[in-house]
Amino acid sequence: MNKIAGLFIAISLISWASTWKQKRYITMIMVALSILYCSKKEEAPRPQTKKGFELSNTMLNSISLAKVEKKNIENDYNFYGKISADKNSYIVCAIMNIHESDIDKIGLGMKVQVSILSYPDKVFDGKIDKIFKSTDPQTNAVHARVVLDNANGLLIPESKATIKVLSLENNTALTVPTQAVIFDDNRSFVVIYKSRTDVKVKEIKVLKQVGDITYISEGLSEGEEVITNNQLLIYRSLNS
């Protein structure tokens, strides 16, 4: 018997009762039922469990992962120069011009990346093997020599070159591949992967970017894995 039916029966009994005592007794029952009905809260409906995000087999097979790693912070400095050697030589040199104010940024053995206009998308790796002591009176610059591998014969003498010098600091920072970073609404994010059912977006603070490496100041822990391709599709799915 529900509460409303009980109240209805109680009211009917009051009307039927012939004596004062009967009416008083039934009224007391009615009051008790009313208090019970008003004080008992209806049970709140249980929230439905939202189905978790899960990567499909196709998406799972298409993603690549990279671990968050701690590395020495790398700096890069751009200089200009030209290729200097015979075209047929397997080893060529690039002579770079260094202003006196930048001389403390370079040193023997430093790695460099050289690019030329003829092949703008190709990078030639080398290292500084000599720093000349004399200063060019016309440009007021010091010259340094970079040794490059020219086995494929692409480096032509007298070609103008952009020479990027790479140096490492003693300080370290967490790093991720640059291609893993998603830039959205003036903020930076990565997609963290733990399992096909445990994928989430994390906001990060970028310290600096050097080529294909991005240094992170906040937001990640060493050893976490970030998705490095197709992460934008996953990012949009998680935020939809």
- For CA atoms 171, 177, 180, 183, give the dihedral sign: positive
Lowest mean pLDDT among 19-23, 32-36, 73-77, 195-199: 19-23
CA gap 186, 206 in Å, rounded: 12
**pLDDT tens readout for residues 186-231:** 999 999 999 999 999 999 999 999 889 999 999 999 999 999 999 9
Domains of the chain: 3-39 (no CATH), 57-71+171-239 (2.40.420.20), 73-169 (2.40.30.170)
CA gap 164, 104 in Å, rounded: 15
CB atoms within 10 A of CB 34: 14
3-state secondary structure at position 26: helix
Evaluate if pTM is beyond 0.75.
Answer: no
Confidence of residue 178 (pLDDT cuts 50, 70, 90): very high
**pLDDT tens readout for residues 59-85:** 889 999 999 999 999 888 888 888 886
Write the burial class of residue 64 (CB in 10 Å: 0-12 exposed, 13-18 middle, 19+ buried). Answer: middle
